[in-house]
Amino acid sequence: MSDISHLVQFLFSGITVGSVYALIAVSLVIVYKVSQLICFAQGEFFVFGALTMTTLVSKGVPVPLAFFLSIIIAMALGALIQQVLIRPMKNTSVGALIVMTIAISLALRGLALLIWGRESHVLPPFSRGEPIQVLGAALQLQILWIVGITTVVLFLIWFFFEKTPAGIAMRACAENPYGASLMGINTQKTTLVAWAWGSGIGALAGMAVAPMLFTQYTSGIMPMVKGFIAMSIGGLGSIVGSVIAGLLLGLVESYTIGLISSKFSDTIVFALLMAVLVFRPNGLFSRS
């Protein structure tokens, strides 16, 4: 392989990983906006999405159906968690709530261990076919799926929040729940919908990369951490910021692994986070 083909190959893997981080970051942002809360269980939805779909496909369920079923299951799980575990705590401190989401994360991880065991599972790629050669680098078809899914999801999110009454109501709820309730917006229902969205998108991230990873019950931990970092770099509440930061993070990681050493990739990512937090505490893309 030539130098160029190496660089292109790193670009592909950077975009792949970056898309996953971006999706997880967006799922975190959506929940954060309505609940002012980082849901640490988001990594588990990544795992549940990937493993539910893997199981369904291995049982012979057609891929498109398995895809939608897995998303719906994750969305229902997220809504259930909000309704049963988070909602009753609405008058407690944010600290207590964060501890709660960590507890939920551990419980879901335990549940995944019970259902799927310790083994790793691989999902067959969404479509069969040889990788495409681009400038001497191999572009796996699944990468096109990942990028395509991410693009579609981001477009839908943009459309939802900018153009639909429900999405605008959700933003109103996030900014000013009291004002929103006076408009007759049901803030509890809106919060529930946001959690369902967040969980579904987290699951989608796991499903999209499941053919490229060995997914097991602990596989959600690092994506969650990286998604959280992307969210912080992007400015906590900003969807656009998180997406850019997620992609950036994926690319930085990929080029560090490729050009320096895999030993340094996490070090560099965390150094980047610290630098952003020190010099741009409101995020890399904030105006203030």
Partner 1 sequence: MILKAERLSAGYARIQVLKAIDLEVKKGEIVCLVGANGAGKSTLLKVLSGVIPPTAGAFTFDGRDVTGRKPNQLVRMGLSHVPEGRQIFGSLTVKQNLFLGAYVNPAKKERLDDLLESVFGLFPKLKERLAQKAGTMSGGEQQMLAIGRGLMSQPKLLLLDEPSLGLAPLVVEAILSTIGELRSRGISILLVEQNVNAALHISDRAYVLETGRIVLQGEAKDLLENEEVKRCYLGM
2, 58, 133, 176: residue in contact with partner 1 (rule CB under 8 A) = 176
Q: Contact between 122 and partner 1 (CB under 8 A)?
A: no
Using the rule CB under 8 A, is 185 a contact of partner 1? yes
Phi, psi of 53 (to 5 degrees): -65, -40
By CB under 8 A, residue 184 contacts partner 1: yes
Nearer to partner 1, 120 or 181 (CB): 181
Q: Which is nearer to partner 1, 33 or 226 (CB)?
A: 33
Q: Does 175 bind partner 1 (CB under 8 A)?
A: yes
Contact 104, 84 (CB under 8 A): no
72 binds partner 1 (CB under 8 A): no
Q: How many CB atoms lie within 10 A of CB 145?
A: 19
Determine, following the binding rule CB under 8 A, whether residue 186 of this chain makes contact with partner 1: yes
Three-class SS string for 213-241? CCECCCCCHHHHHHHHHHHHHHCCCCHHH
> Which residue of 8, 98, 139, 172 would you call a contact of partner 1, by CB under 8 A?
172
> Is 279 one of the binding residues for partner 1 (CB under 8 A)?
no
Q: Number of residues in contact with partner 1, rule: CB under 8 A? A: 16
When binding is defined by CB under 8 A, the residue of 59, 119, 165, 278 that contacts partner 1 is 165
From the list 154, 169, 245, 273, which residue makes contact with partner 1 (rule: CB under 8 A)? 169
Which residue lies nearer to partner 1 by CB, 173 or 269?
173
DSSP for 246-265 reads HHHHHHHHHHHHHHT-GGGH
> In the complex, what is the shortest distance from the CB of residue 278 to partner 1, in angstroms, rounded to a whole number?
27
- The angle subtended at Cα 197 by Cα 194 and Cα 198, nearest 5°, is 85
Specify which residues 132 forms β-bridges with. 139
Distances in whole angstroms, Cα of residue 143 to Cα of each of 15, 18, 99, 127, 149: 8, 11, 35, 11, 10
What values do phi and psi take at 152, rounded to 5? -60, -45
Question: Given the complex with partner 1, which of 50 and 174 has the nearer CB atom?
Answer: 174
* Contact between residue 154 and residue 84 where contact means Cβ atoms under 8 Å apart: no
4 vs 166 by CB, closer to partner 1: 166
Among 124, 148, 179, 281, binds partner 1 (CB under 8 A): 179
Q: How far is Cα 250 from Cα 264, in angstroms, rounded to an integer?
A: 14
Q: Interior CA angle at 196 toward 174 and 84, to 5°?
A: 90
Tell whether residue 182 is a contact of partner 1 (CB under 8 A): yes
Chain residues binding partner 1 by CB under 8 A are 165, 168-169, 171-172, 175-176, 178-186
